[in-house]
Structure 1
Amino acid sequence: MATQSSRPSRSGVTAARLLIQPEPTCARFARQPIIDGSVEPMGQELCFRWNAGWRRAPPPSAYATSLLLSQALLDGGIAHRRPGCLFVEMDAATLLSPIGDVLCGPLGAIQIPVGVPVQETLTRRIAQLHARGYRFALAGVVTPDDPRTVWLPMVSFVKLDVSLAPVNAWAPVQELARQAGAMLIADRMTESGDYLRLKALGVRYFQGDLLMPPQEESPRALPSCDLDVLGRLFRLMRHGVPPEGLAMTASSDPALVIRLLMLYRLHAGRDRPPATLTETLAGLPEPVLTGWLHVLRSSTFDLTPSTQSWSHAVREQIHNYRARLIGARVCCSPAELEAKVFDLYRRLCTREPAAPTHWPLGDPSGKG
């Protein structure tokens, strides 16, 4: 058997280029700030966009919500730009599904749109999530006798639809929100006169085209996940496989590892990066991880040749590096080996420029 040269080959240089920047595709979403006059917005409402030609967002659905969460929080990385509370609209079916577990309390608020039926199953779901620290917003409130106000004890925000609500309903809705301890947001502001009257009533937070129209974004999309790996990981989670077993499956898909690292940063909230993929998975609450797997299964559908080439390049680098570590006998235990390999994996699976091409192929002992 021929021995592998330590010198980078021409194909290795090509692989390194793929590691640095796989060919991107575009994602789309829009955000509209909720302001109170300070420099930073109190929050941002996120809306899904199909493409540049469609101004109107589709009605909320599990599919549209999955695409929005994936594109805004993962592709767009919006949560790391100090956006305030993120408002994401979910219909009844989405809220009852595991996707409803994704937007946990510190991250944002689940926005309940007009027309969501007040049903026992939905009330129970909202109560369960509220007990776990999730926040809710009632959108499109026009009158104080909105049937959804039965959920006010579990609601953090009430959004008054100024474009539809009669002026004589503004103060009653404001009082209803005050009694429930919910924050009132004057939404769909289009007239400066309405803004002044609401300010006189003591309303503090505003949203609408009068202040700032939705800002559309087209971030560079992450490489697509392997649907087969996602399916296997989902089945393993349903059977209660521990994080060690989940990590073995997830590690075969670099695009999934990217997202798991981003989710760890979003939900674990720790300054120190995880030492292993097992630690990454163990740091994510089980309902949150299950919800994100549902999201990724709906939002990953474009496994292009460039994505496949990028994933293959990463796997090849990891395989070669592991073999060299074993050959150099620099690791005293399997755990140390996995930690060193994952450190390289973590560096390759970031959006920062990759290390110089000689780094993954250099001395595994770190001495040269």
Structure 2
Amino acid sequence: MPSSRTSRSSVPLTRLLPPPEPPHACFARQPVIDGSLQPLGESLSLRWRDSARRAPPPPSPYATSLLLSQTLLEAGLARRRPGCLFVEMDAPTLASPIADVLSGALGAIQLPVDVPVQEPLTRRVAQLHARGYRFALSGVVTPDDPRFAWLPMLSFVKLDATLAPVSAWAPVLRVVEQAGAVLIADRLTEPADYVRLKALGVRCFQGDLLCAPQEESPRPLPACDLDVIARVGRLLRQGAPLDALGLAAGADPALVIRLLMLQRLYAPGQLPPASLAGTLAMLPEPALAGWLHVLRTCTFDLTPSTQSWSHAVREQIYNYRARLIGARLCASPVELEAKVFDLYRRLCAREPVKSTAPLLPEGAGADPR
């Protein structure tokens, strides 16, 4: 059972958890090379851990939710500065709140071959594009692809170098460049094709010729409480104030872990907030709604170790609040909540959180050991 004690060395309780069971899925990333020292970005895909026996899952709301949770939260991929993250989304995923998670600052929503050009999806693409989201079109083989109806809203177009005839390469490049998008030669396997495409003026490439997909299995975070996620989502839809959202979310330390990570993801470089309500205020509302949808989709039953950990965190918060009140160290309720939330951040941070002051003065009982 994980310890319920606060560590003076600021070691997060997440690191004191028993090793979790290996996830049934992992993710793969393949760089998009643009000739510079840094890659243009990386294409992400979900893989089963026994991928030698099973084909990778096709895009779906569940698969995309699991992929986003693994890459952006558990692996912290966006913080490694890999450039634009390309995440493929099918029509149901694009129409759902899940698409709101991948803002333009993080990556590009990749539209596969089987996404139909229909009015509802066109409106959805236009809505997201107007809010600064980026889109990539994959599997292009001809310059008259019907999905080019979305070309004014595309940032990237991926030419399938394996299936597209050589005669179509130059026409596709012209159409894409005239629209102001970037052409990426995808699924590149032959050195001769690389030479021809580069001679035509193509500057961005992806494929096994340059780098095969690299699989990665991040350490899972503790599972969220589905009831708490549902409660926070319901309050958000009802337009509840941020204080009410923060109070509801604070009941689940595993959700707080993710909210703190999302604050750093969507508001990088800003000072840490003084409350959970302040954390929520730094998240775009559509992205927050999307993440609640993602977490509800890919969260499984709580394990005994996660339940014990959550109980230990809640016990620490309760005891710390009582000690602060008993020692009369806070001049106002606002100061009290700020100090309590600072401890909550330390307990739920995946990386140690620097602090400029001890939790309690010597002799006030900050360390329950």
TM-score normalized by the length of structure 2: 0.91
Per the alignment, residue 29 of structure 1 pairs with: 27
Distance 1:364 1:149, change over 3 A: farther
Per the alignment, residue 6 of structure 1 pairs with: none
Q: Does 1:341 align with 2:340?
A: yes
Per the alignment, residue 41 of structure 1 pairs with: 39
Farther off after superposition, 166-175 or 235-244:
235-244
Name the SS of the counterpart of 1:252 in structure 2: coil
Conserved 8 A contact 1:18-1:309: no
Conserved 8 A contact 1:22-1:310: yes
Farther off after superposition, 271-280 or 23-32:
23-32
Per the alignment, residue 226 of structure 2 pairs with: 227
- Aligned runs of 1:76-87 on 2, under 5 Å? 76-87=75-86
Q: Give the aligned length.
A: 356
- Aligned runs of 1:267-346 on 2, under 5 Å? 267-346=266-345
Residue type at the aligned position of 2:22: C
Distance 1:11 1:151, change over 3 A: closer
Cα distance in 1 for partners of 2:364, 2:180 equals 58
Cα distance in 1 for partners of 2:312, 2:304 equals 12
- Aligned runs of 1:155-234 on 2, under 5 Å? 155-234=154-233
Conserved 8 A contact 1:330-1:365: no
Conserved 8 A contact 1:159-1:185: yes
1:126-184 deviation per Cα after TM superposition (whole angstroms, max 9, x unaligned): 11110100000000000011100000000000000001000000000000100100000
Cα distance in 2 for partners of 1:20, 1:190 equals 42
Distance 1:22 1:263, change over 3 A: same
Farther off after superposition, 55-64 or 13-22:
13-22
Per the alignment, residue 121 of structure 1 pairs with: 120
Residue type at the aligned position of 1:106: A
Per-residue deviation, 1:25: 3.6
Per the alignment, residue 50 of structure 1 pairs with: 48
Cα distance in 2 for partners of 1:194, 1:44 equals 21
- Aligned runs of 1:233-248 on 2, under 5 Å? 233-248=232-247
Per-residue deviation, 1:331: 1.1
Cα distance in 1 for partners of 2:15, 2:352 equals 6
Cα distance in 2 for partners of 1:334, 1:13 equals 25
Distance 1:244 1:39, change over 3 A: same
Q: What do you get for the CA RMSD once the two structures are aligned? A: 2.3
Per-residue deviation, 1:361: 7.5
Cα distance in 2 for partners of 1:63, 1:46 equals 15
- Aligned runs of 1:121-140 on 2, under 5 Å? 121-140=120-139
Conserved 8 A contact 1:136-1:156: yes
Cα distance in 2 for partners of 1:200, 1:49 equals 35
Conserved 8 A contact 1:253-1:311: yes
Conserved 8 A contact 1:62-1:99: yes
Cα distance in 2 for partners of 1:133, 1:344 equals 36
Aligned identity (percent) is 69
Distance 1:287 1:38, change over 3 A: same
TM-score normalized by the length of structure 1: 0.92
Cα distance in 1 for partners of 2:276, 2:326 equals 23
Per-residue deviation, 1:362: 6.4
1:161-220 deviation per Cα after TM superposition (whole angstroms, max 9, x unaligned): 001000000000000100100000000000010001011111111000111011000110
Distance 1:341 1:14, change over 3 A: closer
Gaps of 5+ in 1: 1-9
Residue type at the aligned position of 1:22: L
Cα distance in 1 for partners of 2:262, 2:12 equals 26
1:219-264 deviation per Cα after TM superposition (whole angstroms, max 9, x unaligned): 1011110111111111111111111000001001111001001111
Cα distance in 2 for partners of 1:67, 1:86 equals 15
Name the SS of the counterpart of 1:49 in structure 2: strand
Per-residue deviation, 1:56: 3.4
Per-residue deviation, 1:61: 0.5
Cα distance in 1 for partners of 2:92, 2:366 equals 56
- Runs of 4+, deviation exceeding 3 Å: 10-20, 52-56, 359-368
Per-residue deviation, 1:53: 3.2
Per the alignment, residue 3 of structure 1 pairs with: none
Distance 1:215 1:130, change over 3 A: same
Conserved 8 A contact 1:144-1:169: yes
Residue type at the aligned position of 1:30: A
Cα distance in 2 for partners of 1:364, 1:35 equals 58
